Amino acid sequence: MCYTQSRFNALLSACVMSLIATAGWSQSLTWLGVLPGGCCSYAYDVSANGAVVVGMAYNAAGQRRAFRWTASGGMQDLGTLGGDWSAAFGVSADGTVVVGMAHDANRQPRAFRWTALGGMQGLGAPPGYRGSEAFGVSADGSVVVGLVYDADWRKRAFRWTAASGMQDLGTLGGNQSAAGGVSANGTVVVGWANIAGWRDHAFRWTVDGGMQNLGTLGGVSWASGVSADGSVVVGSAENAAGQVRAFRWTAAGGMQDLGTPVGYRRRSDAHDVSADGAVVVGQAADDVGQRRAFRWTASRGMENLNWTYASLLTPGSELTAARAISPDGRYIVGYGYNAATRRWEAFLLDTGPRCTAHNGDVDANGCVDDADLLAVLLAFGQMGSNLGRVDVNCDGVVNDADLLQVLFNFGSGC
């Protein structure tokens, strides 16, 4: 191929614009602030489109309050059930239903379900039980899961619907259990339960099959998140050496130890997983207990989000824990230290569109041509999790494999 200088300059300009549009420039980090007069906030879940975040924040009186945040409305205090404490742990896909726990007038914990029209409604507890907490909600907001406390404050996992109320999900042979997550359609519930001998084991419960023991990595285990179809479960488990490690479970592969990010080998805990089960988020700790948010994928392993998105962080700021991820894997919420405000705050991290492997059509105009070739050449050697379409095969680096894919398909669609 032969180019005049003007032709080359035109192509170079077009490629630069293509890179700006496709290489992850939509990434952003939003600190969500605090309630008026409050000290800090913590995010625990996010809606499918990243527009609604829920969690817990302190008010001016030092009381913990469930919140619902939107960019236009800011942080909304959802109130309580008559007491002085509440926290929101789950939100429906469209952001209209929020679940969590709030104290009633007797300062007893009560699972709640909140909507804009109905406000905060307590879900009650079965006869003889003292309290309850809700930790997860189905995509449409109709199924809620969590735990109830019996007269002796022992825990039992529950699944709630408006039609059937609270259903006790049982245990694995012991006397305690708790549900931490639910599939998109509400038919699969995950959490932990005692086996005989008081040992905690992660479980996966289904409407048809009941409670399944997911095993451990050598010690105890706890499940906290589940994919949209219920086939992938994530959580934390002790290995034979007594170290706690994040895990990812599938029926075919069993419980997989996800390891730890570089430098954070003391502990890792997985909190949530994308709808397709491919992206896991959580937190890890180093030898002195310092914690950092992580993301795991099969292709890149454990990533410290503070390193991957260092360009979005002001000096002194840190992302401490990633607590939830949107179904498409784009939005991550949690909490960290905002150096600009000198306080702990909830955050919303927009990682940009997920990478999708393609045939080399970098600018997505239907034709694999010299513009696509130059785009890959200009980005050659770049590494990261959101390089955009210049990372043709989505392996986290622009290299000869991407270049060969463009050359192999050169002229296709033109």
pLDDT at 2 over 70: no
Residue 117 DSSP one-character state: T
Count of helix runs (H) and strand runs (E) in the chain: 4, 28
The pLDDT of residue 17 is above 70: no
CA distances 253 to 214, 223, 231, 232, Å, are 11, 16, 11, 10
pLDDT at 354: 75
CATH class of the region 28-350 = mainly beta
Instruction: Find the length of the chain.
Output: 414
Topology of the domain covering 5-23+358-408: Type 1 dockerin domain (1.10.1330)
Q: How far apart are CA 273 and CA 230, in angstroms?
A: 11
Give the CA distances from residue 370 to residues 23, 177, 319, 374, 399, in Å, rounded to whole numbers and listed in that order: 18, 60, 40, 6, 17
Token pair of 331 as six digits: 């939005």
Whether the per-residue pLDDT at 15 is higher than 60: the answer is no
Give me the residue label for tokens 């934390």.
236
**Comparison of pLDDT for 120 and 387, the residue scoring more:** 120
In terms of Cβ atoms closer than 10 Å to its own Cβ (0-12, 13-18, 19+), residue 30 is middle
DSSP 390: G
pLDDT of residue 6: 52
Whole-model pTM? 0.86
Identify the pLDDT of residue 386.
67
Domain boundaries, the chain: 5-23+358-408, 28-350
pLDDT of residue 395: 86
Q: Answer yes or no: same fold for 5-23+358-408 and 28-350.
A: no
What pLDDT score does 128 carry? 82
**The pair of three-digit structure tokens given for residue 115, joined into one six-digit string:** 């909507």
Q: Where are the beta strands (DSSP E) in 227-338?
A: 233-239, 244-250, 254-257, 267-273, 280-285, 291-297, 301-304, 318-325, 331-338
Phi-psi sector, 60: left (phi>0), alpha (psi -120 to 50), beta: alpha
Q: Please give the pLDDT value at position 21.
A: 46
Question: What is the rounded average pLDDT of the residues 39-56?
Answer: 98
pLDDT band, residue 284 (cuts 50/70/90): very high
